[in-house]
Amino acid sequence: MNETTTAVMHTDLDRLAERVEKAAALVQQLREDRARLEQTCAEQERRLKDVEHGLQGQDAATVTQELGALRKEQREWTSERRDVAQRIESLLKKLERLEG
């Protein structure tokens, strides 16, 4: 191998290493985001149970409205959690292709 080929290989390897490091950092950030969203979702579920318990014996129309609002909020969190999970999976596949 001559010096030019060796230099090109090192440059390519340096760029690849940089891309892998960026991807790994992004994956870590997405994992942290996912953990935060899971925690938020669990808190919302606890809150929903608390509200349901506290609303026992109250006006049915009011209870229905509040329950609908809480379910909507839960669907939004679930959707956001699903989006984050899909992004993580996509980035992991890209990272695996870079490593492979």
**Exposure letters 52-64 (e unless 16+ CB within 10 A, then b):** eeeeeeeeeeebe
Rg for the chain, CA atoms, rounded: 23
87-98 pLDDT tens trace: 888 888 888 888
Give residue 38's pLDDT: 92
- pLDDT tens-digit map of 13-45: 888 888 889 888 999 999 999 999 999 999 999
User: Would you state the pLDDT for residue 100?
Assistant: 67
**Which is higher by pLDDT, 5 or 48?**
48
Q: Which residue type, as a one-letter code, is found at position 77? A: W
pLDDT of 8 above 80: no
Identify whether the C-beta of residue 67 lies closer than 8 Å to the C-beta of residue 52. Answer: yes
pLDDT, tens only, 51-86? 888 877 777 888 788 889 999 999 999 999 898 889
State the Cα–Cα distance between residues 41 and 37, nearest whole angstrom.
6
Q: Classify the phi-psi angles of 57: left when phi > 0, otherwise alpha if psi is within -120 to 50, otherwise beta.
A: left
Q: Determine the residue type at 45.
A: E
